[in-house]
């Protein structure tokens, strides 16, 4: 019998936390930077810009509600492109089967979806359509798909990344065919999964890596998984990451809006999930995650409700809980039924 998706949910408010300051984005100055992409200008656009953002939409209705919603969406794009001058361009694409075929996207696009063209790759933006989230996503895409680590200080920074999936490989150099396969595999997952590499023997020794070997780290796991059968092809690395990019434990952050808008709905989670918060409880959750890293039916998601002020009322009403004190219980993510102790 197929297991039901469950979440053991706990919430804890951190009243002493100081709100994080966001980037200072420009305001709309009245200059239109977002343009319509059509069969006449798309070839020139592909040559001119490093990245293209394409919002595919159905023709805007004549009613005021539809027009207002579209104007708000367009405004997000206008402010975002103003914050990224020169290296990215925003386009609106009215969904048309013939034109979609011209873009070699037939069967891939959905109305209302935003895609980024970079280096002949199509990357879907799966987050909240907000300026700060979108700009952060674009900045991540502008970076190289693989970050190189060749010093103790850089290795310390790598070790401190424990809330996201990450991979690191040891290679002879940037000209190595095995590094190039690793780099090409990284492009498939940028910016959702972090890829690192080192060419330094000392760094590799500290990581326990052999030449052309790659380690896969799950969030909050102390020990990595050695990907078997080195050296690897691009296809083998993509297949392994795709199969293993699940979460035993992750923290639900504001930044996850750019990573996956459906994280709380169970995307990336296993059949049973724990959702919780609170630093004192965190160490217990980490140990539970480590003890169950091979359990295919368990995931843990750690949430700070302060990061999601607009969802607090929804969570309290849906789960019938008071988020002014710690809460823990079980939530079925399929039908949102829940059970919380008194």
* pLDDT classification of 188: cutoffs 50, 70, 90: very high
Q: Which of 220, 244, 268 is the last residue of a domain?
A: 244
In the predicted structure, residue 153 carries a pLDDT above the cut 80: yes
CATH number at residue 326: 3.40.30.10
Show the tokens assigned to 88: 């990215």
- Shared domain for 134 and 52, answered yes or no, is yes
Q: Which of 142, 162, 188 is the last residue of a domain?
A: 142
Show the tokens assigned to 221: 């796991």
Residue 229 placed within a domain? yes
pLDDT score recorded for residue 4: 39
Mean pLDDT for the stretch of residues 73-82: 85
Omega cis (within 30) before 275? no
Residue 6 placed within a domain? no
- Shared domain for 191 and 259, answered yes or no, is no
Residue 90 placed within a domain? yes
In the predicted structure, residue 258 carries a pLDDT above the cut 70: no
Residue 220 and residue 162 in contact, taking contact as beta carbons nearer than 8 Å: yes
pLDDT score recorded for residue 181: 97
Show the tokens assigned to 120: 């002949």
pLDDT score recorded for residue 20: 42
Mean pLDDT for the stretch of residues 44-57: 80
pLDDT score recorded for residue 10: 52
Task: Identify the domain containing residue 86 by its residue range.
Answer: 35-142
CB atoms within 10 A of CB 191: 18
pLDDT score recorded for residue 67: 84
Residue 7 placed within a domain? no
Residue 25 placed within a domain? no
For 294-319, b where at least 16 C-beta lie within 10 A, e where not — what string? eeeebbbbbbbbbbbeeeeeebbeeb
CB atoms within 10 A of CB 273: 26
Residue 333 and residue 16 in contact, taking contact as beta carbons nearer than 8 Å: no
Q: Which residues is 168 bridged to in the sheet? A: 196, 215
The helix/strand/coil state of 28 is: coil
In the predicted structure, residue 264 carries a pLDDT above the cut 50: no
- Shared domain for 294 and 319, answered yes or no, is yes
pLDDT score recorded for residue 201: 95
- Shared domain for 237 and 259, answered yes or no, is no
- Shared domain for 209 and 306, answered yes or no, is no
In the predicted structure, residue 211 carries a pLDDT above the cut 90: yes
- Shared domain for 202 and 278, answered yes or no, is no
- Shared domain for 233 and 211, answered yes or no, is yes
| Rounded-to-integer distance, Cα 251 and Cα 247, Å | 10
- Shared domain for 43 and 123, answered yes or no, is yes
- Shared domain for 153 and 232, answered yes or no, is yes
Residue 9 and residue 276 in contact, taking contact as beta carbons nearer than 8 Å: yes
Higher pLDDT, 48 or 204: 204
Residue 227 placed within a domain? yes
Strand segments (E) across the chain: 6-11, 35-36, 51-57, 88-94, 114-118, 121-125, 146-148, 166-170, 194-198, 214-217, 225-226, 249-252, 272-276, 298-303, 327-332, 338-339
Q: Which of 142, 167, 202 is the last residue of a domain?
A: 142
* pLDDT classification of 17: cutoffs 50, 70, 90: very low
> Which segment, 64-68, 244-248, 335-339, is predicted with the most confidence on average?
64-68
- Shared domain for 138 and 152, answered yes or no, is no
Count of structural domains, the chain: 3
Least Cα distance to 80 among 118, 51, 111 occurs for 51
* pLDDT classification of 227: cutoffs 50, 70, 90: very high
pLDDT score recorded for residue 184: 95
Residues 6+ apart with CB under 8 A from 140: 190, 191, 258
Burial of 261 by CB count in 10 Å (0-12 exposed, 13-18 middle, 19+ buried)? middle
Higher pLDDT, 243 or 324: 243
- Shared domain for 138 and 187, answered yes or no, is no
Q: How many Cα atoms are found within 13 Å in the side-chain-facing hemisphere of 216?
A: 19
Bridge-based pairing of strands 6-11 and 51-57 is unpaired
Share of the chain above pLDDT 70, in %: 70
pLDDT score recorded for residue 229: 93
Show the tokens assigned to 76: 């997000």
Residue 22 placed within a domain? no
The helix/strand/coil state of 180 is: helix
Residue 82 placed within a domain? yes
Handedness of CA 82, 84, 88, 93 (dihedral sign): negative
- Shared domain for 258 and 285, answered yes or no, is yes
């Amino acid at each position: 019998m197929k297991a039901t998706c469950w979440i053991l949910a706990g919430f804890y408010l951190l009243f002493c936390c100081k709100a994080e300051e966001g980037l200072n984005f420009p305001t709309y100055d009245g200059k239109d930077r977002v343009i319509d992409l059509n069969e006449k200008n798309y070839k020139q656009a592909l040559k001119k810009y490093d990245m293209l953002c394409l919002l595919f939409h159905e023709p805007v209705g004549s009613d005021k509600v539809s027009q207002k919603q579209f104007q708000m969406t367009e405004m997000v794009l206008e402010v975002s492109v103003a914050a990224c001058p020169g290296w990215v361009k925003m386009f609106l694409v009215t969904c048309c089967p013939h034109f979609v075929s011209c873009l070699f996207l037939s069967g891939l696009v959905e109305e209302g979806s935003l895609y980024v063209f970079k280096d002949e790759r199509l990357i879907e933006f799966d987050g909240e359509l907000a300026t700060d989230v979108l700009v952060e996503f674009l900045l991540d895409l502008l970076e190289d798909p693989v970050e190189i680590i060749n010093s103790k200080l850089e290795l310390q920074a790598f070790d401190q990344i424990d809330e996201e999936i990450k991979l690191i490989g040891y290679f002879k150099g940037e000209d190595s065919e095995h590094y190039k396969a690793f780099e090409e595999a990284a492009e498939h997952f940028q910016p959702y999964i972090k890829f690192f590499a080192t060419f330094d023997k000392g760094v590799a020794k500290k990581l326990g890596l052999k030449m052309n070997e790659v380690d896969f780290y799950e969030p909050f796991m102390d020990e990595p998984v050695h990907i078997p059968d080195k050296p690897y092809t691009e296809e083998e690395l993509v297949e392994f990451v795709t199969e293993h990019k699940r979460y035993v434990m992750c923290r639900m952050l504001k930044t996850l809006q750019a990573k996956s808008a459906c994280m709380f709905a169970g995307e990336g989670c296993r059949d049973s999930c724990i959702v919780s918060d609170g630093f004192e409880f965190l160490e217990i959750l980490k140990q539970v995650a480590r003890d169950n890293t091979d359990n295919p039916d368990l995931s843990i998601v750690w949430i700070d409700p302060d990061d999601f002020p607009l969802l607090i009322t929804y969570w309290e009403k849906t789960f019938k809980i008071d988020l002014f004190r710690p809460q823990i219980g079980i939530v079925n993510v399929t039908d949102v039924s829940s059970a919380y102790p008194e």
